[in-house]
Amino acid sequence: MTAAALAQIWLRGLGTRELNARRRLFVFPHAGAGASAYRLAAYLPDTVEVCTVQLPGRENRFAEPALTSLDDAVAALAPLIADHTDLPYAFFGHSMGSLIAFETARRLRALGRRLPDRLFLSGMRAPGLPDRDPRHTLPDDKLLATAEFDGVDAELQELLLPLLRADLTLCETYTHRAEAPLPCPLTVLAGAYDDSVDGSELADWHKHTSADFELHLFPGAPHLYVRGAERQLAETITRTFPARG
């Protein structure tokens, strides 16, 4: 399969705004989510092409085995993204997506490729800090009792359980390797009521950039604030990643 064909599989939305696009935003979803979970494109100008990562094991890639290694995800994504950095671009990642976005940026640096203008990293403690309560080894019944399955019917729970376990394994077996800080500015985001991460864990991201650092909390919002707050999130992104220029 050609690199162009692979990019269409991994990067949902690629080429959808090629006539108008002045910038690109690559979006990296949270654990258990597919590309359709995010509707940021609807709230961004048509000068920003939104390309959402579609990892194996979800939505139109449901038949493929989900990845359990962050290194494997980055190894697949970095070359595909490197081929589409002709425009100024940024990364937005939420939770698991923050780690993948961060490590993809570091891999692009190692490849000597153009880096993102800014990283927007959401709902995840900084790399190198310990996981609070690892969950990927929990028995099925205990994993099903976690917040991710609230309101999900039993049949769908059965389908989603292996995917969530794989994504948690990817996050919780990730080992941070010390490198020089990225030269990309970082904007770190979270819901103010996100009990999975605290202010000091978010602020610790500042160690991973040699450029500007911002921390922004969405008032009254939980961990999965992205769903339902796309407009506010888009406004926050465009404030420091303008739609034109």
List, by residue number, the catalytic residues: 95
DSSP line for 47-68: TEEEEEE--TTSGGGTTSPPP-
Bridge partner residues of 92 (DSSP)? 27, 120
Residue pair 161/143 in contact (Cβ under 8 Å)? The answer is: yes
- Whether 179 contacts 160, CB under 8 Å: no
Region for residue 184 given its phi and psi (left: phi exceeds 0; alpha: psi -120 to 50; beta: otherwise): beta
| Torsion, Cα of 44, 97, 10, 37 (10° steps) | -60
102 three-state secondary structure: helix
